[in-house]
Amino acid sequence: QPKTPSKDDSEFRDYSHSEISRDVATIKNSVVMHLTATFLRTPASIDSAHAYLASAFSVRDRLLQRWNLTNEYHDKIGAKRVYYMSLEFLIGRTFDNALLALGLRQEYSKVLGDVGFCLEDIIDEERDAALGNGGLGRLAACYVDSMACSNYPGWGYGLRYKYGMFQQQILNGYQVEAPDCWLDSPNPWEFPRPDVTYPVKFYGHLVRDPHSEHRFKWESNVVYDAMAFDVPVPGYGTTNVGNIRLWSCKTNTLFDLNKFNSGDYQGATGGQVAAQILTDVLYPNDNTNDGKELRLRQEYLFCSATMQDILARFRKTNRPLSELPDLAAIQLNDTHPTLGVPELMRILIDDEGLSWDEAWDITTRTFAFTNHTILPEAMEKWPVPMLDKILPRHMGIIYDINLFFLQKVEKQFPGDRELLNKISIIEESNPQQVRMAFLACVGSHKVNGVAAIHSDIIKQTIFKDFVRIQGEDKFINKTNGVSPRRWMNECNPDMSDLITEVVGDRSWVNDLTKVKQLEGKLEDVNFRERWWAAKQKNKERLAEYILTTTGIKVSAHALFDIQVKRIHEYKRQLMNIFSVIYRYHLLKQMSPEQREQEVPRVVIFAGKAASGYWVAKQVIKLINSVAEVVNSDEEIGDVLKVVFIPDYSVTAAEVIIPASDISQHISTAGTEASGTSNMKFVLNGGIILGTVDGANIEIGEEIGEEQIFFFGCLAHEVEDFRHYLRFNQPKPDSALQTAFDMIQRNTFGDAQLFQPLIDAIMRGGDVYLLSVDFPSYIEAHKAVEEAYRSHDEWVTKSILSVARMAKFSSDRSIQEYAEEVWNIEPQPVLNCGL
Interaction of residue 561 with ligand GPW, rule CB under 6 A: no
Interaction of residue 373 with ligand GPW, rule CB under 6 A: yes
Instruction: Find the helix or strand (DSSP H, E) in which 813 lies.
Output: helix 810-817
Q: Which is nearer to ligand GPW, 308 or 479 (CB)?
A: 479
Query: Pick the catalytic residue: 373, 676, 691, 747?
Result: 676
Q: Which is nearer to ligand GPW, 375 or 832 (CB)?
A: 375
372 has catalytic annotation = yes
Interaction of residue 156 with ligand GPW, rule CB under 6 A: no
- Give just the sign of the alpha carbon dihedral 385, 387, 393, 398: negative
775, 666 Cβ separation under 8 angstroms: no
Report which of 781, 397, 413, 362 is spatially closest to residue 576, judged by C-alpha positions.
Answer: 781
Q: Which is nearer to ligand GPW, 651 or 676 (CB)?
A: 676
- Give just the sign of the alpha carbon dihedral 754, 756, 762, 765: negative
DSSP codes, 478-545: ----B-HIIIIIIT-HHHHHHHHHHHSSGGGGT-GGGGGGGGGGTT-HHHHHHHHHHHHHHHHHHHHH
Q: Which is nearer to ligand GPW, 339 or 602 (CB)?
A: 339
Rounded to an integer, what distance in angstroms lies between the CA atom of residue 732 and that of residue 214? 61
Query: Pick the catalytic residue: 446, 539, 565, 665?
Result: 565
**Count of CB atoms within 10 A of residue 468's CB?**
14
Q: Which of 378, 452, 503, 599 binds ligand GPW (CB under 6 A)?
A: 378
Interaction of residue 452 with ligand GPW, rule CB under 6 A: no
Interaction of residue 286 with ligand GPW, rule CB under 6 A: yes
Interaction of residue 165 with ligand GPW, rule CB under 6 A: no
Interaction of residue 436 with ligand GPW, rule CB under 6 A: no
Q: Which of 30, 55, 133, 696 binds ligand GPW (CB under 6 A)?
A: 133
Shortest CB 570 distance to ligand GPW, Å: 9
Shortest CB 496 distance to ligand GPW, Å: 24
Instruction: From 314-322, 669-677, 757-765, 782-790, give the range in contact with ligand GPW by CB under 6 A.
Output: 669-677
Shortest CB 86 distance to ligand GPW, Å: 10
Rounded to an integer, what distance in angstroms lies between the CA atom of residue 164 and that of residue 146? 23
566 has catalytic annotation = yes
Rounded to an integer, what distance in angstroms lies between the CA atom of residue 56 and that of residue 52? 6
Query: Pick the catalytic residue: 571, 595, 617, 621?
Result: 571
- Binding flags for ligand GPW, 343-372, as an x/- string (CB under 6 A): -----------------------------x
DSSP codes, 615-647: HHHHHHHHHHHHHHHHHT-TTTGGGEEEEEESS
Instruction: From 111-119, 301-309, 628-636, 666-674, give the range in contact with ligand GPW by CB under 6 A.
Output: 666-674
565 has catalytic annotation = yes
Q: Which of 200, 390, 462, 673 binds ligand GPW (CB under 6 A)?
A: 673
Q: What are the C-alpha distances in Å from 777 to residues 3, 674, 690?
A: 71, 20, 9
Q: For residue 511, how far is the Cα from the chain centroid?
A: 22
651 has catalytic annotation = no
Query: Pick the catalytic residue: 160, 297, 336, 372?
Result: 372
Q: Which of 154, 675, 686, 730 binds ligand GPW (CB under 6 A)?
A: 675
Q: Which is nearer to ligand GPW, 114 or 377 (CB)?
A: 377
Interaction of residue 693 with ligand GPW, rule CB under 6 A: no
Interaction of residue 139 with ligand GPW, rule CB under 6 A: yes
Rg of the chain over all Cα atoms, to the nearest angstrom: 28
Rounded to an integer, what distance in angstroms lies between the CA atom of residue 664 and that of residue 606? 12
Q: Which of 28, 91, 135, 341 binds ligand GPW (CB under 6 A)?
A: 135
**Count of CB atoms within 10 A of residue 479's CB?**
24
Burial of 201 (0-12, 13-18, 19+ CB in 10 A): middle
Q: Which residues of 644-672 are buried (b: 16+ CB within 10 A; e: fewer)?
A: bbbbbbbbbbbbbbbbbbbbbbbbbbbbb
Rounded to an integer, what distance in angstroms lies between the CA atom of residue 108 and that of residue 28? 8
Q: Note the residues at the interface with ligand GPW (CB under 6 A).
A: 133-136, 139, 286-287, 334, 372-373, 378, 450, 480, 672-676, 694
Question: Annotated active-site positions, please?
Answer: 372, 565-566, 571, 676, 680
